[in-house]
Structure 1
Amino acid sequence: MIEGHGGNVFALAQKLGCPAEDITDMSSNINPLGSMPGLIEHITQQLHRIQSLPEVDGRAATRAIARLLDVAPERVLAGGGTTQFIYTACAALASKQVLIVGPTYADYTDGCRVHGIEPQYFITRPGDNFLPNLNELHQALAQVDTVFLCNPNNPTGQLIDHRTLRELCLAHPQVRFIIDESYLPFAPLAQAASMTTTELDNVIVLWSVSKIFGMPGLRAGFLVANQGVVDRFRQYMQPWCVNSLAQEAVLFLGDHLEEVQTFITRTRDYLSQEGALFQQRLAHAPLTIFPSLTSYYLLQLDTPHTATEVCTKIGEQRFLIRNCANFHGLDDQFIRIALKDAATNEQVCRHLLAAVSPTED
């Protein structure tokens, strides 16, 4: 279950015989600017709180996120990362026939299989820049009761616009749409694209603080849905599932809404600038870079290069990038690279160009 993820700097460090800190992890798609200013300092000042139990249901943190998302608090549920909701979704919704729009995050599949459900897949195509063919998707949705959809998607970076997605949900009221918006804050006009404000009974939104605020280790995630759906998920929540420091971090975000928006805007501006440079540096390389509205890019290598070969070569330079061969719907021609600081982005492009350049006999 935990083997399908990237970001295993420890395995690469062991292979190279170096400390994990020497590995530059460009497989982990969190904010390249790091954590929001003041967040780490605030958490440090709250370390004494680990001596007591956290608020049992994270209600204060829920209210903080509700303010950030501008939704009613009763529509929000706090969990130990969005992963907790992914793994309880099939039980909470009594799902029988599940569709996963891919290629996408492996935990959606694992979350189904935990409950004895083998999901169906709707696989988007490289020729469509991994955006779904809507006519075909409408047909596939007629056969299921639940769908997992990551928007923007991981690893493809593509976004289905709000109007299209809302019309899709309205057209299939019998289907519960679990829409993972973990990467949406990276996208321009993200608030207008979010499904959190639709208040449709068949829409469940997963919202993460891990990626945009650079705090994946704290494990805090939220579910946004109408009251009846929230109550169904609440039955599967364990007490104290959001630890004290994670709750304090979320409270900090809720108390600094103006600074949050400034940080997110600065992140988007940085990604726009560095993303353009990233694509320029690789414009003539034997590979395809797919459009992305996130902090990461999916690349397809030209034959005869493979992801295994390229990841190994770049790994020898102590850079970890994501081999996407184990994503359902991709193969050993695909890699994913997450942007970091400007110097690191330039370095990884140089290493990638060297890895795919023709060798002289």
Structure 2
Amino acid sequence: MIPATDRIPHNRGETMRASTDAQGGDLRGLPDGSYLDLGTCVNRYGPPPSVAAALCSVEPERLLAHPYGVEEVFTQTYAKFMATEPEQLVPGRGITEFIRVLAHLLPSNEVAVITPDYTDTIRWFPTHLAPPPGVMETVQTRLERVDRAMSAYPYVVFSNPNNPLGLYLHRDFLTEICRAHPDSILIVDEAYIEFLSEHARLSMVGSGLRNVVVLRSPNKLFGIAGTRTGALWTRNEDIARRVAERKLNWTLSYVDAVLATAALADTMWADRTRAALLRDATELEGLLIERFPSLVRGVPVHYRFLPVADPVAGHRFFLDHGVVVRAFDGRQPGRVSGLRITVPASGELVKLRESLNAASAVAPRLIYR
């Protein structure tokens, strides 16, 4: 991790593009340098050794033919991991593909998004239901908005655990709301549910309700975002059929399916790494709360959200000390002003502590007012 102070853009507009407009993990807008990338929400302990072994075992001849059968193998493996039936899954190229397909299938005026939320969700669905101005989001405020939204809209979309705040709404509460509004369909992006140790029990997949759609992907937990695999779960036959009809002829490539299947089969690695991540998350929270009292704490995921009034300054503060974080501009639709910081691996956590200790005199200026 090398401080890059002398290479930071001095033009405010350039800094804005390099921070609040960039998705997590996209470092192309930054000056040359070596950074600790905590801007993407992919598990920094990944990928597991099983993925490296699977990649080395790929025979070039297998790339000659179309990927017959690999979609079915991936679906069966992922269904087992999710504790559901393969027939209830529609495979796809990550969660983003399903968001875009649903945006084309569903009338935009009938869909509401509980914000703040994921970049593509708020981009493709224009109706946003945000918390009241000046009110920091909580589990209760989000539950209340889901309830109100399902009473008013045929479709309600949100991420759970939330991106970027990390708040998780318990399946039991959401199930109760869905049962109270059977004519509204809840579409849940569960990209980060697998970071919860009891994800199979806590996922809305286990609700069994027909007015629920769940979007899942192994990319984040297993550290394989470079592959594009995911699945849509629902017991709503109409939505499943319509989404499946929009699939490409070859949804998954041979290499993507082989690597994702190898990762999903390595459940022991997933359990060990998840436990290490949650321990690291507690340590990261303790490190950040010393300097940033407004930190959203106690969330069950591998990242933390730091509300700051000026996310560009916050982004630059960390960048000056060799760390990339994800910045969100609260003036943009569906956003909240602040920084999302992914948990570094244990060795990287030491470096982050050293950087923040060296910058302790500067840090208080970033506290949200």
> Given the two structures, how large is their TM-score scaled by the length of structure 2?
0.84
Match for residue 184 of structure 1 among 181, 184, 193: 193
Question: Does structure 1 residue 129 correspond to structure 2 residue 132?
Answer: no
1:34 alignment partner, SS class = coil
Q: How does 1:207-356 map to 2 (within 5 A)?
A: 207-226=216-235, 227-253=237-263, 256=265, 259-260=266-267, 262-291=268-297, 292-301=299-308, 306-325=310-329, 328-332=333-337, 334-352=338-356, 354-355=358-359
Tell me, in whole angstroms, the C-alpha distance in 2 between the residues paired with 1:57 and 1:110.
31
1:169 matched residue in structure 2: 178
2:29 alignment partner, SS class = helix
2:128 matched residue in structure 1: 120
| Change in 2 beyond 3 A, CA 1:314/1:4 | closer
The alpha carbon displacement at 1:244 in A equals 1.0
1:89 matched residue in structure 2: 102
Tell me, in whole angstroms, the C-alpha distance in 2 between the residues paired with 1:356 and 1:310.
14
Amino acid aligned to 1:320: V
The alpha carbon displacement at 1:228 in A equals 3.4
Match for residue 37 of structure 1 among 49, 62, 67: 49
Coordinate RMSD, CA, aligned: 2.5
Tell me, in whole angstroms, the C-alpha distance in 1 between the residues paired with 2:167 and 2:59.
38
1:123 alignment partner, SS class = coil
| Change in 2 beyond 3 A, CA 1:325/1:47 | farther
Contact 1:204/1:225 (8 A) holds in 2: yes
2:226 alignment partner, SS class = helix
Q: Deviations over 1:188-226 (max 9, x none)?
A: 322211111222111111110110011001111111112
Where do 5+ consecutive residues of structure 1 fail to align? Answer: 113-117
Tell me, in whole angstroms, the C-alpha distance in 1 between the residues paired with 2:353 and 2:333.
26
1:115 matched residue in structure 2: none
Amino acid aligned to 1:174: D
1:105 matched residue in structure 2: 118
Where do 5+ consecutive residues of structure 2 fail to align? Answer: 1-19, 364-369
2:366 matched residue in structure 1: none
| Change in 2 beyond 3 A, CA 1:133/1:212 | closer
1:31 alignment partner, SS class = coil
Tell me, in whole angstroms, the C-alpha distance in 1 between the residues paired with 2:334 and 2:105.
27
Question: Does structure 1 residue 58 correspond to structure 2 residue 71?
Answer: yes
Tell me, in whole angstroms, the C-alpha distance in 2 between the residues paired with 1:37 and 1:131.
40
| Change in 2 beyond 3 A, CA 1:299/1:350 | farther
The alpha carbon displacement at 1:3 in A equals 4.8
Tell me, in whole angstroms, the C-alpha distance in 2 between the residues paired with 1:59 and 1:140.
36
Tell me, in whole angstroms, the C-alpha distance in 1 between the residues paired with 2:103 and 2:336.
28
> Given the two structures, how large is their TM-score scaled by the length of structure 1?
0.85
| Change in 2 beyond 3 A, CA 1:57/1:39 | closer
The alpha carbon displacement at 1:253 in A equals 4.2
Amino acid aligned to 1:337: I
- Count of aligned pairs between the two proteins: 339
Q: Deviations over 1:293-350 (max 9, x none)?
A: 111100124x6xx321232132133321111226645454x11110121232232244
Tell me, in whole angstroms, the C-alpha distance in 1 between the residues paired with 2:203 and 2:145.
23
Contact 2:139/2:167 (8 A) holds in 1: yes
Tell me, in whole angstroms, the C-alpha distance in 1 between the residues paired with 2:188 and 2:270.
21
1:62 alignment partner, SS class = helix
Percent identity for Structure 1 against Structure 2: 22
Tell me, in whole angstroms, the C-alpha distance in 2 between the residues paired with 1:57 and 1:248.
7
Tell me, in whole angstroms, the C-alpha distance in 2 between the residues paired with 1:95 and 1:230.
19
The alpha carbon displacement at 1:251 in A equals 3.0
Question: Does structure 1 residue 9 correspond to structure 2 residue 52?
Answer: no
